[in-house]
Amino acid sequence: MSLEPTVAAVSVALAKARAVPAGSEEMVLAADTLVVIDGEILGKPAHRAAARRMLERLRARAHQVVTGVVLRRGDLAWAGVVSTRVVMRTYADSEIETYIERGEPFDKAGGYAVQDQTFRPVERLDGCYLNVVGLPLCAVAAGLNALGWAARPAEPPACAYCRAGAPLVARSES
């Protein structure tokens, strides 16, 4: 039985946070990022063929990146989910092979990194850029605020990466 992606992301982040022994008064931050296309969660590719299949499937298509974030301090916990719509560019098979040859896909959900300056797989995104990187700071700030750790009690605004996400990865073909 598979979980709905937002539940799955929070569940894994919570399990990571719980791996830190209870009783500590230190703030624990855990996150888990999933790539979801056609209702299927793409994990980290285990080998070259899996990486190639994922990147081919994502090519020139939209998908969601969902990150579950959990903050825990003692008995208090906060959880949130950030979802970003990502549109991949039409990259060539040779670009996929070069990316795989560099060893890049194997520790990344969906087999890609939005921040890779050589491959640059993303055409545009709607939402938080840092969510696609793997840690949406806007959610972390909201969680810290909810747990009373914010420098100011006011609700933090959306981060600059949320507001400017699409232009940060937009490509111009000239």
Over 80: is that where the pLDDT of 93 sits? yes
Over 90: is that where the pLDDT of 96 sits? yes
Over 90: is that where the pLDDT of 157 sits? no
Mean pLDDT of 47-54: 98
Q: Residue 68: CA atoms inside 13 Å, Cβ hemisphere, count?
A: 19
Polymer length in residues for the chain: 174
Domain assignments of the chain as residue spans, ordered by start: 5-169
Catalytic residue of the set 32, 93, 107, 126 = 32
Fold (topology level) of 5-169:
Maf protein (3.90.950)
The conformation of residue 115, written as its DSSP 8-state character, comes to T
Residue type present at position 18? R
Among residues of the chain, what percentage have pLDDT more than 70?
83
126 is catalytic: no
- Average pLDDT along the chain: 86
Question: What pLDDT shows up at residue 166?
Answer: 41
